[in-house]
């Protein structure tokens, strides 16, 4: 897929990975639309729009509300023409112990992370099929590759995104539409900073000394995936290795994670 001149819609494009992707696509010559919440991040994006050959179109919407997504996509298409690139970057996370997290938190994360991915795809896929061209990129997570302690609400939503991408890749490929799934680990975003105070000590032990990568690195991997139609996008080598180990040596990865959790609890008791 050629980025220059294409209309790219990015959900959650006002901060973090989404904002970095918006900046990169705009600089590459795309006509970019952003769908995000009407909040301080959106205000900052409006005040400091990324540089590019075309103005960035901003639409405020909650991706967990289907009617808002449909209206937002229609407004983007009215401004920049048919969508040929979709990046679903909107997402939320709240870690915690399963028994302590309220059911409403599980519902919130599934609404935003999974249905907030599904709704935009449904809104753009028909015209993509008719045009026989398009690229859809969804953000999963390293937590969508294996079960991570403390992510009982978050991890299943990212597994769901991963599963959706697997099915859509097969269904849409004959129509000339490429579907990619991105698996970042920790990324240096406001969302990561916001979740850290809530992380159980065992989750912090699992994360260890992993240094978060910059959002621009994920955005660069996304852009490359769009250009090549790569179905699986790993922004860093360690995530690619993790995916391979989780697929070929699941027993080893589970045993390793269990040992890390056990050591963390022993140190706490000591």
Catalytic residues: 140, 154, 158
* Residue 57, helix vs strand vs coil: strand
Count of Cβ atoms closer than 10 Å to residue 205 Cβ: 20
Rounded Cα distance, 105 and 107, in Å: 5
φ, ψ at 175 (rounded to 5°): -95, 5
């Amino acid at each position: 897929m050629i980025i220059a001149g294409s209309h790219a819609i990015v959900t959650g494009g006002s901060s973090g990975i989404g904002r970095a992707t918006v900046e990169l696509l705009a600089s590459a010559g795309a006509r970019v639309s952003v769908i995000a919440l009407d909040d301080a991040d959106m205000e900052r994006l409006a005040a400091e729009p990324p540089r590019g050959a075309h103005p960035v179109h901003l639409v405020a919407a909650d991706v967990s509300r289907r009617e808002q997504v449909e209206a937002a996509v229609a407004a983007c298409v009215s401004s920049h023409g048919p969508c040929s690139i979709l990046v679903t970057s909107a997402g939320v996370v709240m870690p915690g112990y399963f028994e302590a997290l309220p059911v409403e938190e599980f519902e919130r994360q599934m609404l935003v992370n999974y249905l907030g991915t599904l709704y935009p795809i449904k809104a753009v896929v028909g015209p993509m099929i008719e045009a026989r061209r398009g690229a859809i990129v969804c953000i999963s997570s390293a937590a969508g590759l294996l079960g991570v302690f403390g992510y009982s609400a978050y991890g299943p939503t990212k597994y769901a995104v991963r599963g959706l991408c697997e099915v859509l890749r097969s269904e849409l490929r004959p129509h000339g539409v490429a579907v990619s799934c991105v698996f970042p680990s920790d990324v240096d975003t406001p969302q990561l900073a916001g979740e850290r105070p809530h992380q159980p000590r065992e989750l912090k032990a699992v994360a260890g000394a992993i240094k978060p990568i910059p959002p621009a690195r994920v955005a660069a991997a996304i852009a490359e995936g769009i250009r090549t139609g790569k179905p699986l996008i790993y922004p860093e080598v360690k995530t690619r290795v993790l995916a391979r180990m989780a697929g070929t040596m699941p027993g080893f990865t589970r045993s390793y994670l269990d040992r890390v959790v056990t050591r963390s609890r022993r140190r706490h008791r000591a």
